[in-house]
Amino acid sequence: EDQVTQSPEALRLQEGESSSLNCSYTVSGLRGLFWYRQDPGKGPEFLFTLYSAGEEKEKERLKATLTKKESFLHITAPKPEDSATYLCAVQSNAGGTSYGKLTFGQGTILTVHP
Amino acid sequence: DAGVTQSPTHLIKTRGQQVTLRCSPKSGHDTVSWYQQALGQGPQFIFQYYEEEERQRGNFPDRFSGHQFPNYSSELNVNALLLGDSALYLCASSSGRDTQYFGPGTRLTVL
């Protein structure tokens, strides 16, 4: 069974204080690893898809990296508007019935203080 | 280009009742997935529809059922509601197994 564990559960940063969020996963054949941002009471907003170990993607102050066992979301010089819950999910490429199900971690709640 | 839309936004029901939630996918998408998100948790996969058929299902009881229409829109039905069904219900659309884009969700409260 696919599993995703995110750490820390919550992270408080001062504006400008860079840090990283971790996503550890076990999956029977990784098709893709996804990062989403979710604001309170809203649906998840897509950030990145990573497909293979060594791949990196960047968007503004965010950079996502992938190894064979984990992914990191690096936040450089965060601003208060980066405060949100960040969700990591995996999609398996195992044959048969694994068409597109996403398995999510519990999320990391990021708070950036001005 | 409209993204994924869901209705209603909020819903309050009592135990034992039935509920129907609706989802319209992003333009060009043919696949709809439904997720349940309890407070403080990550979304849990309920099922996925493609070509009007349930293609994959998560660990949810038969009380949860769905439908996809020829225009790719979808419904989620939950029968015999329990208190534990209170959650944010999320619809996601995609083109096949590509990236899933989520709607704003429907907040269901069961009293």
The nearest alpha carbon in chain A to B46 belongs to A101
Domains of chain A: 3-113 (2.60.40.10)
Q: Using the beta-carbon criterion (under 8 Å), do A106 and B101 form an inter-chain contact? A: no
The nearest alpha carbon in chain B to A107 belongs to B42
Compute the distance between CA of residue A63 and CA of residue A84 in angstroms, rounded to an integer: 16
The nearest alpha carbon in chain B to A98 belongs to B56
Q: Do B95 and A35 touch, CB atoms closer than 8 A?
A: no
Hey, what are B14's tokens?
Answer: 């009592």
Hey, what are A93's tokens?
Answer: 């490429």
Q: Which residues of A touch B105 (CB under 8 A)?
A: 41-43
Nearest by CB to residue B42, choosing from A49, A98, A107, is A107
Q: Is A100 on the interface with B (CB under 8 A)?
A: yes
Q: Which residues of B touch A107 (CB under 8 A)?
A: 41-42
**Over 90: is that where the pLDDT of B106 sits?**
yes
Q: Is A87 on the interface with B (CB under 8 A)?
A: yes
The nearest alpha carbon in chain A to B96 belongs to A100
pLDDT at B96: 83
**Over 90: is that where the pLDDT of A93 sits?**
no
Q: Is A91 on the interface with B (CB under 8 A)?
A: yes
Q: pLDDT-derived band of residue A96, with 50, 70 and 90 as boundaries?
A: low
Does the N-terminal peptide bond of residue A78 adopt cis geometry, omega within 30 degrees of 0? no
Q: Using the beta-carbon criterion (under 8 Å), do A43 and B41 form an inter-chain contact? A: no
pLDDT for B75-86, tens place per residue?
Answer: 999 999 999 999
pLDDT at A1: 87
What residues does A21 pair with on adjacent strands? A73
Nearest by CB to residue A99, choosing from B42, B48, B104, is B48
Hey, what are A50's tokens?
Answer: 């990573």
pLDDT at A57: 98
Min Cα–Cα distance to chain B from A7, Å: 13
Mean pLDDT of A44-48: 97
Min Cα–Cα distance to chain A from B76, Å: 16
**Over 80: is that where the pLDDT of A95 sits?**
no
Q: Which amino acid appears at position B17 of this protein?
A: Q
Q: Which residues contact A6 (CB under 8 A, 6 or more apart)?
A: A21, A22, A23, A24, A86, A87, A88, A105, A106, A107, A108
